[in-house]
């Protein structure tokens, strides 16, 4: 029964994902559609390490950029979702959900980076046409 609930949770979570996986491998003919993927990363300035406000701001800029790259990697490569629930005497005793993202992002560019109150934001953009051409160059097909 608990295995059924775990599988159901994973299926429901993966069905809610609106990410579009874009994979242009070595032997793929040029697609008709090249979407432009966008991602925004955020970081709170005051919680960053550093003795001065300027150093905390620099750390927030870096953290927001890494958060935006994580979001792009999520769109390109998807998420690994692992869920488990444990029941005893028909009562849920524990519930765990682990989500991780891993992948490589090439060809993204920073569109904007700006403070907004106590938060720093970085906007990234990835034109998948450039990604396609980068992969073709790496495969030696040009």
pLDDT at 13 over 50: no
Inter-CA distances, 1 with 85, 91, 100, Å: 10, 12, 26
What is the rounded distance in angstroms from the CA atom of residue 115 to the CA atom of residue 57? 9
**How confident is the model over 100-127, as pLDDT tens digits?**
999 888 889 999 999 999 999 999 999 9
Q: How confident is the model at residue 84 (pLDDT cuts 50, 70, 90)?
A: very high
Which DSSP symbol is given to 52? Answer: S
Q: How confident is the model at residue 30 (pLDDT cuts 50, 70, 90)?
A: confident
Inter-CA distances, 37 with 12, 27, 44, 140, Å: 24, 22, 24, 25
pLDDT at 22 over 60: no
Q: In this predicted structure, what is the pLDDT of residue 27?
A: 55
Q: In this predicted structure, what is the pLDDT of residue 23?
A: 53
Q: Is 41 exposed, middle or buried (0-12, 13-18, 19+ CB in 10 A)?
A: buried
Q: Cβ atoms within 10 A of the Cβ of 40, count?
A: 14
Q: What's the gap between Cα 103 and its chain centre?
A: 9
Hey, what are 123's tokens? 């906007």
Q: Which of 31-40, 96-105, 132-141 has the lowest mean pLDDT?
A: 132-141
Q: What's the gap between Cα 89 and its chain centre?
A: 38
Which DSSP symbol is given to 30? Answer: P
């Amino acid at each position: 029964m608990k295995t059924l609930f775990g599988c159901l949770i994973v299926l429901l979570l993966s069905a809610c994902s609106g990410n579009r996986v874009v994979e242009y491998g070595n032997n793929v003919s040029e697609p008709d559609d090249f979407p432009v993927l966008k991602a925004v990363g955020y970081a709170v300035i005051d919680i960053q390490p550093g003795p001065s406000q300027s150093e905390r701001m620099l750390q927030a800029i870096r953290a927001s950029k890494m958060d935006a790259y994580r979001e792009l990697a999520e769109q390109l490569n998807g998420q690994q979702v692992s869920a488990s629930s444990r029941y005893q005497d028909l009562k849920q005793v524990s519930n765990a959900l682990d989500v991780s993202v891993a992948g490589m992002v090439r060809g993204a560019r920073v569109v904007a980076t700006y403070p907004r109150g106590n938060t720093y934001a970085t906007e990234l953009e990835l034109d998948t046409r450039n990604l396609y051409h980068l992969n073709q160059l790496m495969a030696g097909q040009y």
